[in-house]
Amino acid sequence: MIHTNSPMSRHKMNWFQKFMLICSGGNLHILRKTPSEWNKFSGIGGVILFTAVFASLSGGYALYTIFDNLWYAIGFGILWGLMIFNLDRYIVSSIKKTGTWGNQLIMAIPRLILATFLGIIISKPLELKIFEKEVNKQLNTIIQRNKTQLQAEMNARIMQQSGPFEQEKKQINTKIQEYQKAFDSAATELEKEILGTKTHLTSGKTGYGTNAKRKEILKQQRRTDLENYQKQIAPRLHYLDKEISKVYNNIETERAKTETAEDRFNGFAARLQALDELGKNSSVIAAASMFIMGLFICLEISPVLVKLISSVGPYDHLLDKTENDFRLYAKEKMEKGNTATDFRISKFRKDIESNSD
């Protein structure tokens, strides 16, 4: 044990060292007695502090892309940074140097996995900010691609919904064309008959004779058939045109709303998609993104690794002794309590037996 009158205990701790030691998650009371450990724990505390700062910037930027509100982003960024700060302190402080190295490694593996996961979470929003210009350009590409796909889907829906009406309208128009063709044919034959043009259907005699009169009657009949059919089918054509127009208007309204939503396709998830596509299209951006993510993973796991690979120091011995003293004290108190309870029970039984006699 290091006594308070030893030379090491006379080292003065300035406010910055104290703050760094608090950030490290170490026991400040024990660290005051172990000045040789201050540099190691100050370094660990500095890494934890700067990781929390980067986490605040990362979380704030992520929330700003979601809500587009500066004050919400600042508030959430500070809250997120404090949470990461507290979690990192807990991860580091929970690693004990007692026991074999294998046991320490087994205890550290879940903490390393958690630290790696936190490093990935912190790095992604910062990657989006670093590659912001490239991400914005890729977002425009994605928006245009989505609009093209949307237009194709809308066209397919128009064909599906208006198809029966269009088909019926096409059949009606075909029927009208047949009536029109029959009328035009009758008018042509009448003209040829009057002019004396010889065909297999005309007499070849010039003038308005018996054949011409018969063809005049046929022409009038064909005109009557055409006009009667057009008059009969007009309400149905009007209904079909109205239904087709309704389909176009409904889908056009929906398309306009969807395109408006597509124009606002710039949220956090959309930017992650754009960054992912950039990485697939450009090996340079993919490599840079991996390096950035690796950097933050290294920052997150470095305090855990420092605690893991460092040798057992005075702080660890004092911490182990302090915890052991508390364990012994708690065990002693429990034993005393159990003994006192057994004594009272025994005395109570003797009193009962004496009273019964």
pLDDT tens digits, residue range 49-108? 988 888 898 888 888 877 778 888 899 889 988 988 998 888 888 877 766 777 777 877
Instruction: Place 357 in a pLDDT band, splitting at 50, 70 and 90.
Output: low
Q: Token pair of 60, please? A: 């704030």
What pLDDT was estimated at residue 317? 80
Question: Tokens 């912001």 — which residue?
Answer: 132
The average pLDDT across 305-333 equals 82
Predicted model pTM: 0.57
73 and 67 in contact (C-beta within 8 Å)? Answer: yes
Q: Which of 201-205, 207-211, 282-286, 323-327 has the highest mean pLDDT?
A: 282-286
Q: For Cα atoms 79, 83, 88, give the angle at the middle one, nearest 5 degrees.
A: 150
Residue 76 vs residue 146, higher pLDDT: 76
CATH topology (fold) of 139-270: Helix Hairpins (1.10.287)
User: For the chain, how are helix, strand and coil distributed in percent, rounded to 5?
Assistant: 85, 0, 15
Rg (CA), the chain: 45
**Domain limits of the chain?**
12-136+283-312, 139-270, 313-346
High-pLDDT (> 70) share of the chain, %: 91
Q: Is the pLDDT of residue 2 over 50?
A: no
pLDDT of residue 5: 44
* pLDDT for position 6: 44
Q: What is the per-residue pLDDT across 15-35, written as a single tens digit (0 to 9) for each?
A: 888 999 999 888 888 888 888
Q: Which amino acid is at 305?
A: L
Angle, CA 152 vertex, CA 151 and CA 154 arms, to 5°: 65
Question: Assign residue 99 a region: left if phi > 0, alpha if psi is -120 to 50, beta otherwise?
Answer: left
Instruction: Flag the least confident range among 50-59, 168-177, 207-216.
Output: 207-216
pLDDT at residue number 99: 65
Indicate whether 3 pLDDT > 50: no
Residue 4 has pLDDT above 50, yes or no: no
Angle at 53 between CA 50 and CA 56, to 5 degrees: 155
